[in-house]
Chains A and B, each alone.
Chain A
Amino acid sequence: MATAVHELTPQEASAEPVPEAIVVRFAGDSGDGMQLTGGQFTLATALAGNDLATFPDFPAEIRAPQGTLFGVSAFQINFGSTAVETAGDAPDVLIAMNPAALKTNAPALKPGGLIIADEGEFGPRNLAKAGYEVSPLTDGSLAKWQTLAFNISQLTLDAVKPFGLGNKEALRCKNMWTLGLALWMFDRPRDAIVDWLKAKFAKAPELAEANIAALNAGHAYGETAELGTSIRQHSLSPAPAEPGLYRTVTGAESISMGLVAGAQLAGVDMFFGGYPITPASAILHHLSRLKQFGVTTFQAEDEIAAVASAIGASYAGKLGVTSSSGPGIALKGEAIGLAIMTELPLVIVNSQRGGPSTGLPTKTEQSDLYQAVYGRNGDAPLPVVSARSPADAFECAIEAIRLATQFMTPVMLLTDGYIANAAEPWKVPDVSTFEPFPVQFLEEKPESGFLPYARDAKGARPWVKPGTPGLLHRIGGIEKQQGTGNIDYAPANHQAMTDARKAKVDGIANHIPDQEVTLGETSGKLVVVGWGSTFGPIHQAVRRARAKGRDVSHVHIRHIWPLPKNLAVLLKGFEHILVPEMNTGQLKTVLRDELLVDAKPLNKVSGQPFRIAEIEAAIDAALAGRGGGAVPADDTQLPEPQSGLDPGRNAGHAGHVSPQSA
């Protein structure tokens, strides 16, 4: 059993790890440019050498009415001088651009945290829209935090006055003013953002100048204005990182580039069939710009046509790829079954989101694991790979293509809305170090004769391109005769073919890496098992618990199906197994069924990522013999206008999710 052990650093071992990261949340109206502000702050932070993680949190409505609770858009960044793997728990700083942003976001702020509010937006109209009778800035209700309110709107108008913009356009520069202030607070450089503004507004230099003026004004305000002692410049030292070239990358970008890389390593051109759906569309957008890499993209008339065209392309000798989110994957199900039956390579990317049905389209969940593993008619197995972070998604995309082309099978790559949209620093790999896995098309009749369903040692059938003389054959969704592929309904044949398809996919376990222990010992009291984007909070929680001396390890699973061969033995080396998931316990069920282990769930389905503290608490409970359960929903990030949103309600809705403690 090959398992890697992560040695604890002295700092990790110390009882109280030093505070090493700061969480800042920008919140405003969806028209206020919060995602843009957050994105630029991320860039400045990355350039300053801090490790970081971000969490964009935007409303489902395209243009929600201004000033309303459900129109609030937020962007959270956690950055620090040690490795950062989550967008953070409670924010230390909240920048609220209007009353609605304050109302929906303040409850999550750390006690003693800092609120910066734009007083200029706290007029009677906006207060009423947010459901405030009196201004929270003056009624003492924000007492447990430090509050700094000043008229950002007016300050921005003053700063951009020389450029002669209309009132509306001038106010649009507010986000740059705020960004300037944030950059000052955390000692970030402005140069990259100035360059970016110049490039962005190359066609309207007065807009570039106005935005730069606003940015500088915000920065100068921090430096010179009478801000008192509450706001002071934070300077975090850069996180230690391996030397090399770094960039920030979102999951959608890294999956797109990983797919291009995988196709190159396989030596085939890629065909991508997609249909717009949140949050998967970004992959279609990225790939559409990469035609020079032999990528053909096709925006199909629906999800079914998207996957069907990809299957057609695979049949014709390109690598078919499609992507969607849960509802679209459901539509593709029948066609995925066809790809399983015809044993053609295909990669299906599922950017999971909250469900069922339309669910929470802009929020994150990991609730499509059952769909990926089991969600088709008939006995229809396919390999499932899951990405844990934007950077990890690059390698996962390559792995998906390797499995698809080497085993002639569709492969599901699971990612989620959080990974797709979030950005993190990524050490740019040297692609020449990746092992190529060139595909071999069958081009000539083998001496023993040509059989379209002959199998190699791995159980894979030959890939033959139409256009090849002498190898004409027909395939289809009806059960086929072993070897010839001709229609065959015979009972023994169906048994044999079902067994062969299963054996091929099961056998992939022999061609994937053994499961390693991500952090901690290879046996002991408790192992926390995770998959997908919960990697960050689980890892940090285990790290903190270990620093407190707890006997706990972290195992992160990339290959969901088939599971790594050594996983059963590995997990059986622990007394307790805890599986935190943003669903009602799907991997937990698979582990219990496949490995016969007593895995206990920790579930959260509020559309928000786990907090480190929630998992830490569950670790303590599990070690005390109380396993699993559900994390109470935290309402603070999910404005629901119809229910009035009383901040006092955030005590939780434990009743929404029945605790599953086993």
Chain B
Amino acid sequence: MNDMTPIKTAPKDWETDQEVRWCPGCGDYAILKAVQRTMPELGVKPENTVFVSGIGCSSRFPYYMETYGFHTIHGRAPAVATGVKLANPDLDVWIITGDGDALSIGGNHTMHLLRRNLDCQVLLFNNEIYGLTKGQYSPTSRVGTRSPSTPFGSVDRPANPCAFALGAGARFIGRGIDVHKNLPTVLKAAHAHKGASFVEIFQNCIVYNDDVFAPFTEKKGAAENQLWVEHGKPLLYAGGAKGLAFDQETFGLKVVEVVGGEWQAAGVIVHDETKRALAHLLVEMPFGAYPVALGVIFNAPAPTFESAVVEQNLTASKGKKADLQALISEGQTWQVEKEPHII
């Protein structure tokens, strides 16, 4: 990532010879294409790029990227990635994970990766289901989700990935949709952000949870239901006919009508991606009464974990020689002469 000379590559340079094995029609295909289209625009070298994944449908991803890749174990990709990045901070590290992998079995690692702010991109493919194990409800499934393990509907409340990430201290929150043309823009911003960049991608599992996001991802009605936020621009949607304003009473956001483009008069807020409180309000808007906030929701860089580690290693080593013989001869020592010597 440190190599500043942009490298010329084409999307096909990022494809492996391996047969892609997701179900036909799975949203993962679109995400793979979006990533392979984005990589050339980043100007990075394939050999300096490492994709690390956990377990789940999404976690097959590294096998299809012509980079270095490590398909690890369930939930542990953030921990493996931390070792990779600390061992070689020059590598450009991407973590591919899913809702079960990152928020259930690996929730602890996700939290600590984000609070430490390791420089990497976390792409969480949220399909609100366990696909690989044949369709059990997941920690992001909505209440009432019927699945083999919840034949009468799930009763526990779901986790909100972006709210979790913000709570864990993430400095970058992005959201995208598998098939949406804006996904590469979000990915590019995530890559440009130095630190842990958390991106939730709504991904359709055609087999076990088809169309669960359709109410806002369908082309028809998209304008009414999607709000693509942009730093410095008013929070408008529905072709500019609606916007979000601050509601003193609920200490939250409210939807306001915008007449004749007079968004200021309607009190519509200008998006400021550096404001954590605004990010919280945006990611927690309940769908239905509100649109779904998408794009770069929060972006407020802070020093990264690996740079702090490297710096401390340097400072602590300053002026010290790596003299092993001296190290093992340290402390209270005594010399045994040929003749036993009596004190």
Query: How distant is the Cα of A351 from the Cα of B65 in the complex, in angstroms?
Result: 40
Of the stretches A68-76, A102-110, A297-305, A408-416, the one at the interface is A297-305
A320 CB to closest chain B CB (Å) equals 7
A428 at the interface (CB under 8 A from B): yes
A305 x B79 contact (CB < 8 A): yes
Q: Is A149 an interface residue (CB 8 A)?
A: no
The reply to whether B68 and A474 form a contact with Cβ atoms under 8 Å apart is: yes
Indicate which residue in A315, A428, A473 contacts B329 across the interface (CB closer than 8 Å): A428
Q: Are A309 and B66 within 8 A (Cβ)?
A: no
* Chain B CB within 8 A of A97 CB: no
Q: A48 interface residue, CB < 8 Å from B?
A: yes
Given the interface contacts A47-B343, A292-B316, A474-B63, does A429 sit within 8 Å of B84 by beta carbon?
A: no
- Chain A residues near B68 (CB-CB < 8 A): 466-467, 472-474
Q: A46 near B: Cβ within 8 Å?
A: yes
> A486 at the A/B interface (Cβ < 8 Å)?
yes
* A308 B83 Cβ-Cβ under 8 A: yes
Inter-chain contacts of A471 with B (CB < 8 A): 47
A147 to chain B, nearest CB (A): 31
**A316 contacts the other chain (Cβ, under 8 Å)?**
yes
- Residues in B whose Cβ lies below 8 Å from that of A298: 82-83, 86, 309
Residues of B within 8 A of A264 (CB): 322, 324
A324 contacts chain B at the CB level, 8 A cutoff: no
**Stretch of B32-40, B136-144, B147-155, B330-338 contacting A (4+ beta carbons < 8 Å):** B330-338
Interface residue ranges of B302-343 to A (CB < 8 Å)? 309, 312-313, 316-317, 320-322, 324-325, 327-338, 340-343
| B contact patch SS | mixed
Residues of B within 8 A of A311 (CB): 72, 80, 83
Chain A facing B: main interface SS = mixed
**Given that A293-B324, A313-B86 are contacting pairs, would A244 and B336 also be in contact in the complex, using a CB cutoff of 8 Å?**
yes
Does B185 belong to the interface (CB within 8 Å)?
no
Whether A241 is near chain B, meaning CB under 8 Å from some CB there, is yes
B67 touches A475 (CB 8 A): no
Smallest CB gap from A477: residue in B? B73
Interchain CB contact under 8 A, B76 and A476: no
Q: Is the CB of A431 within 8 A of B325?
A: yes
**Shortest Cβ distance from residue A451 to the other chain B in the assembled complex, whole angstroms:** 14
Of the four ranges (under 10, 10 to 19, 20 to 34, 35 or more), the interface on chain A belongs to 35 or more
Q: Across the interface, do A467 and B90 meet the contact criterion of CB distance under 8 Å?
A: yes
Partner of B336, one of A43, A243, A430: A243
A296 at the interface (CB under 8 A from B): yes
Give chain B interface residues in 48-74, CB to chain A under 8 Å. 48, 50, 52, 55, 62-63, 65-73
Q: B83, B325, B342: which contacts A49 (Cβ < 8 A)? A: B342
B87 touches A312 (CB 8 A): yes
Q: Is A242 an interface residue (CB 8 A)?
A: yes
Say yes or no: A472 contacts B70, CB within 8 Å. Answer: no
Residues of B within 8 A of A257 (CB): 324, 327-328
Q: Which residues of the partner chain A approach B264 to less than 8 Å between Cβ atoms? A: none
How many angstroms from the CA of A257 to the CA of B73 in the assembled complex? 31
A310 touches B340 (CB 8 A): no
A467 and B327 contacting across the interface, CB-CB below 8 Å: no
Is A308 a contact partner of B72 (Cβ separation < 8 A)? yes
Cβ of A228 < 8 Å from any Cβ of B? no
Is A313 a contact of B331 with CB atoms below 8 Å? no
The answer on a CB contact under 8 Å between A469 and B47 is yes
Number of B residues, CB within 8 Å of A: 64
- In the bound assembly, the distance between CA atoms of A432 and B324 in angstroms comes to 10
> A320 to B83, Cβ gap below 8 A?
yes
- Complex CA gap A47/B329 in Å reads 15
The tally of CB-CB contacts under 8 A between chains A and B is 225
Q: Which residues of A are found within 8 Å of B258, using beta-carbon distances? A: none
Task: Please tell me if the beta carbons of B79 and A316 are within 8 angstroms of each other in the complex.
Answer: no
Tell me, in angstroms, the Cα distance from A430 to B46 when the chains sit together.
Answer: 45
In angstroms, how far is the closest chain B Cβ from the Cβ of A246? 5
| Contact between A467 and B91, CB atoms less than 8 A apart | yes
Judge whether A43 and B332 touch: CB under 8 Å: yes
Contact B332 A248 (CB under 8 A): yes
Q: How far is the CB of A244 from chain B (nearest CB, A)?
A: 6
Q: Which residue of A lies closest to B77 (CB)?
A: A308
Within 8 A of B (CB), among A461-498: 465-478, 486-487
Quick check: is A240 within 8 A (CB to CB) of the other chain?
Answer: yes
Q: A43-B332, A309-B80 are in contact. Are A316 and B91 (CB under 8 A)?
A: yes
Cα separation A309 to B63 with both chains bound (whole Å): 21
Complex contact A467–B333 (CB within 8 A):
no
Report if A621 contacts B (CB, 8 A). no
B146 on interface, CB distance cutoff 8 Å = no
Q: Residues of B contacting A300 with CB < 8 Å?
A: 79, 82, 112
Nearest B residue (CB) for A475: B70
For B18, B73, B80, the residue with the greatest tally of chain A CB atoms inside 10 Å of its CB is B80
Q: Give CA–CA (A33, B186) in the complex, Å.
A: 60
CB-CB under 8 A from A639, the residues of chain B are none
Asked whether A260 lies within 8 Å of B70 as measured between CB atoms, the reply is: no
Q: A246-B333, A487-B63 are in contact. Are A474 and B313 (CB under 8 A)?
A: no
What distance in Å separates the Cβ of B20 from its nearest Cβ neighbour in chain A? 12
A192 at the binding interface (Cβ < 8 Å)? yes
Whether B109 is near chain A, meaning CB under 8 Å from some CB there, is yes
**Does B71 contact A247, Cβ atoms closer than 8 Å?**
no
Interface residues of A in 306-360 (CB under 8 A from B): 308-318, 320, 334-335, 337-338, 342
- A261 close to B (CB within 8 Å): yes
Query: 17 A-B Cβ contacts within 8 A?
Result: A46-B332, A47-B334, A245-B329, A247-B334, A271-B87, A293-B322, A300-B82, A304-B79, A320-B83, A338-B73, A342-B70, A431-B325, A466-B68, A466-B84, A472-B66, A473-B68, A474-B65
Q: Given A269-B87, A317-B88, 16 other A-B contacts at CB below 8 A?
A: A47-B332, A48-B343, A237-B340, A238-B342, A245-B329, A257-B327, A257-B328, A296-B86, A298-B83, A308-B83, A312-B87, A314-B87, A394-B328, A466-B50, A466-B84, A477-B71
Which 3 residue pairs across A and B have the least CB separation, nearest first? A312-B83, A476-B71, A309-B83
Instruction: Write the residues of chain B forming the contact surface with A, with a CB cutoff of 8 angstroms.
Output: 16, 18, 45-48, 50, 52, 55, 62-63, 65-73, 76, 78-88, 90-91, 108-109, 111-112, 309, 312-313, 316-317, 320-322, 324-325, 327-338, 340-343
